[in-house]
Structure 1
């Protein structure tokens, strides 16, 4: 989101200064005041623009992979990767870097939104224009509701910090864990406020509207197994006719030219600047194959598709090639070059993924003989791709897509039934399958939908939550059946326990707040 004053307001509200805990943010002050700012729609929207990109970085980059897909059995990461490998075999500890990264992101966004809303409410009380202040407050409610939805799914019982400034100033640092059901309820109430206050549409691509709130509410309702409410909210999004599926599935994920497409309901917004650290998307190097590296684009293939994921697709499913690079995958427009003449000749007609060619001369042969294609935008502008600045690209990361709403609707109609032949549920479900070029179904079960969700949203950080909401017994069966090893050495999980259904609270947080080690208490 190219907003001229993206960071103009960071002095009046909280930015990076924090008090005793990473999830309680303290305000910082300078010459900017409520009197001389927030006087125009542009100034107010520049404030909430800060919520769309930078603060998501610590989760979106790597934590999202290991929590959403490595734990879920979709992504493999080598044993030499000490920060991530424990998520593959569920040996992670409360000191895990990615656990702390995700925690900081979500409680930071929760803190920012609380302070933003407080400042905007004060401005409105001073005579500020409600016509542009109220929608901004609603944006904050959306972000707060969304991050607490993530918090509930990742940690289960967790702190709720609704007024970080008051908490900090009051010196009440011993914050308890609240029951997971209450954290979910808190998230839902925030999303309801977002739905009520957001506009029907926004002229700026990528900015929120009320249907984004409805879609996220539908996802939360489905997670809680409130099928009637999930169905209602998903149907409201569908009947709005504001969204549709993008015909080119792969295109959504390999070019920033497709940012804020007709399928994207909510996405983390990225932009490349002179110093894009934090504002750029960093999935390109973490996923891209080593033989695609150039002097413009870094590639270190930190995460790969698992062998199990490679077996998940039906014959003819175009999502396979849109999601993974395997032997025979090619991209004629990308023409990477380096100092090796043999390599240059091999790639002269366009990028080739070849597991038989000698590595170094253009071949690609890693642990699972595959790479993730989603959010890999190529070798750089000089080599036929788009602009890449080292490890940074400008492609957005979609958090909620219209395909998700369609599958939520189908599952909500199914509910607790063994199967359904409901016409509307099948229409929503089969629309996703038709885009994928796989045969439609005349009846669907919960397993059909779970499988569809896995291949539709592979490598998008979502499948772990789909497994988790099945309950421990089924989650254990799913995890235990997955081959999480390499092409040469299969590996299976045999020690999955119920304690692994949620992540541990970061050790440093428990050390600073002993209440977090105690039993959770009700929030309501």
Structure 2
């Protein structure tokens, strides 16, 4: 399979060609040079924009992110990805292969760019614009390896696919998860050193790297460094919690807002980044399907998540549609549907009593997701939607996470904390949600806050996982993963479900992946 070059790659004549393994993306060995290319910041930034776009991220952010992060975590119900709901997934499961392929493709892009830019710099290219670009690549590579380590545990590390291809040895082993995490951190440190203090909206900065490092350190239970890095982001004064929580995910006008440290970039047309966001139809209530917007509610809120919200938590209505939820600006209409059109004439009403064909909603949990659902289309009062596509960025790291990392790192595994600064960070998140401040907090309370704050953002499974098998089993087996008519409680969650299996196709092509992991660092 050949992946055509994008943006700067087109100009440079570089091709990324798979060499028999999805996880080894290598540059063309045709002898192309960079002598006439990457001579300006504009050319280089055009190339690195690929790393932010939906093009390489698509097979992860579309469905795999939901299935792994929220269906497995118990935040979403689905009839489509039942194997993730019940932890019966196998190495042949579709989302596993999709995420693996996407992650290693992104790494392939970053690998080629790092090598290309370093060669250009060595031949006299401008360090002023090449060094920040190399740092962007290190951030992306580090972040993706962090995702890989959390998802599969032990995994291959590829940094020079060209050398691998020339060697002819494609039997790449899995490396210890601890080494994959160490590699991710080393990459993020390089990013921190090379990225600018500030940049145009959407571009990475030093504080993006510091924030992601804080998240990696927290995963490793290195609370001292997690707290220190989170503190650096907080002290920068560059970020704040935005008041329009729902708008962060549903309004293109709020892309790259002051809460965002890193997002996958999307636009509908004239797109310098890549592709549109295709989460819209998977989350949208069927009652909002129109000639402009698809909506087939593949993923819906779980009953267990709905029980998690405290009374008065505004994030519930900002994240979930339930009976009585309204949006008077949305006025969906359909051809030859007089009852439906009359019901929606004065604005959208989420109603579980009205017949479905006349505008009612009757999902298995009597709820639907609002995050990343842009609405019924511009003609019907919503943001612009083109079929399956919206222009909303997918946020992978935001300031609320930094605040909660700081609070949890201050707790540092203790029973409870009443530290003033940690409480201030936690209570900023709670205040936006309309909740009373806490005077002390426990780990369970932090995990509760993370669950409702980041619901449907693909992160909750990892919050469960990083607490260890015994705690994960207790959490999973208490969750109702069923519907309003049929409860479903798992009783067979086992330790081998803590990480996903490597895709079957990769195991066939590289038998080393089926063996025990080995150290990466000698």
Coarse TM-score class (shorter-chain normalised): over 0.9
How far apart in 2 are the matches of 1:391 and 1:146?
A: 27
1:315-352 deviation per Cα after TM superposition (whole angstroms, max 9, x unaligned):
11110001111001111111110020010010011111
After TM superposition, list the pairs within 5 Å mapping 1:51-70 onto structure 2: 51-53=51-53, 54-70=55-71
Runs of 4 or more off by more than 2 Å in structure 1? 10-17, 28-33, 273-278
Structure 1, 475-484 or 244-253: larger mean CA deviation: 244-253
**Partner of residue 39, structure 1:** 39
Tell whether the 8 Å contact from 1:330 to 1:352 is kept in structure 2 after alignment.
yes
**Cα displacement (A) at 1:10:** 4.2
Asked if residue 253 in structure 1 is aligned to residue 253 in structure 2, the reply is no
Distance 1:275 1:250, change over 3 A: closer
Tell whether the 8 Å contact from 1:329 to 1:353 is kept in structure 2 after alignment.
yes
Of 108, 113, 118, the residue aligned with 2:115 is 118
Tell whether the 8 Å contact from 1:14 to 1:25 is kept in structure 2 after alignment.
no
**Cα displacement (A) at 1:12:** 3.8
After TM superposition, list the pairs within 5 Å mapping 1:233-252 onto structure 2: 233-252=229-248
How far apart in 2 are the matches of 1:498 and 1:208?
A: 37
Tell whether the 8 Å contact from 2:283 to 2:296 is kept in structure 1 after alignment.
yes
Q: What SS is found at the alignment partner of 2:512?
A: helix
Of 346, 355, 361, the residue aligned with 1:349 is 346
**Partner of residue 425, structure 1:** 422
Tell whether the 8 Å contact from 2:111 to 2:161 is kept in structure 1 after alignment.
yes
Tell whether the 8 Å contact from 1:64 to 1:461 is kept in structure 2 after alignment.
yes
Asked if residue 231 in structure 1 is aligned to residue 227 in structure 2, the reply is yes
After TM superposition, list the pairs within 5 Å mapping 1:235-314 onto structure 2: 235-273=231-269, 279-314=275-310
After TM superposition, list the pairs within 5 Å mapping 1:449-460 onto structure 2: 449-460=446-457
How far apart in 2 are the matches of 1:98 and 1:6?
A: 25
1:210-246 deviation per Cα after TM superposition (whole angstroms, max 9, x unaligned):
0000000000000000000000000000000000000
How far apart in 2 are the matches of 1:386 and 1:397?
A: 16
Distance 1:299 1:276, change over 3 A: farther
1:405-443 deviation per Cα after TM superposition (whole angstroms, max 9, x unaligned):
000000000002100110000000000000000111000
Asked if residue 500 in structure 1 is aligned to residue 501 in structure 2, the reply is no
**Partner of residue 22, structure 1:** 22
1:106-127 deviation per Cα after TM superposition (whole angstroms, max 9, x unaligned):
1111111111011001101111
Distance 1:274 1:30, change over 3 A: farther
Tell whether the 8 Å contact from 1:206 to 1:269 is kept in structure 2 after alignment.
yes
Tell whether the 8 Å contact from 1:12 to 1:27 is kept in structure 2 after alignment.
no
How far apart in 2 are the matches of 1:274 and 1:248?
A: 26
Asked if residue 321 in structure 1 is aligned to residue 317 in structure 2, the reply is yes
Q: What SS is found at the alignment partner of 2:397?
A: strand
Count of equivalent residues: 515
Q: What SS is found at the alignment partner of 1:243?
A: coil
Of 330, 336, 354, the residue aligned with 1:334 is 330
How far apart in 1 are the matches of 2:497 and 2:117?
A: 40
How far apart in 1 are the matches of 2:222 and 2:330?
A: 46
> Please, what TM-score do these two structures have when normalized by structure 1?
0.96
Of 208, 213, 219, the residue aligned with 2:215 is 219
**Partner of residue 206, structure 2:** 210
**Cα displacement (A) at 1:17:** 2.2
**Cα displacement (A) at 1:169:** 1.6
Distance 1:114 1:228, change over 3 A: same
Q: What SS is found at the alignment partner of 1:242?
A: coil
Q: What SS is found at the alignment partner of 2:375?
A: coil
Tell whether the 8 Å contact from 2:27 to 2:161 is kept in structure 1 after alignment.
no
Tell whether the 8 Å contact from 1:12 to 1:29 is kept in structure 2 after alignment.
no
How far apart in 1 are the matches of 2:516 and 2:424?
A: 45
Of 350, 362, 369, the residue aligned with 2:366 is 369
After TM superposition, list the pairs within 5 Å mapping 1:83-162 onto structure 2: 84-162=81-159
**Partner of residue 77, structure 1:** 78
**Cα displacement (A) at 1:28:** 3.2
1:500-519 deviation per Cα after TM superposition (whole angstroms, max 9, x unaligned):
00000000000000000001
**Cα displacement (A) at 1:385:** 1.1
**Cα displacement (A) at 1:254:** 1.7
Of 468, 480, 499, the residue aligned with 2:465 is 468
Tell whether the 8 Å contact from 1:13 to 1:116 is kept in structure 2 after alignment.
no
Task: Compute the RMSD of aligned alpha carbons.
Answer: 1.6
**Cα displacement (A) at 1:35:** 1.1
> Please, what TM-score do these two structures have when normalized by structure 2?
0.96
Tell whether the 8 Å contact from 2:411 to 2:417 is kept in structure 1 after alignment.
yes
How far apart in 1 are the matches of 2:8 and 2:328?
A: 42
Q: What SS is found at the alignment partner of 1:50?
A: helix
Tell whether the 8 Å contact from 1:328 to 1:354 is kept in structure 2 after alignment.
yes
Structure 1, 271-280 or 395-404: larger mean CA deviation: 271-280
Tell whether the 8 Å contact from 2:233 to 2:402 is kept in structure 1 after alignment.
yes
Distance 1:169 1:511, change over 3 A: same
How far apart in 2 are the matches of 1:511 and 1:389?
A: 39
Structure 1, 91-100 or 12-21: larger mean CA deviation: 12-21
After TM superposition, list the pairs within 5 Å mapping 1:368-517 onto structure 2: 368-517=365-514
How far apart in 1 are the matches of 2:460 and 2:441?
A: 19
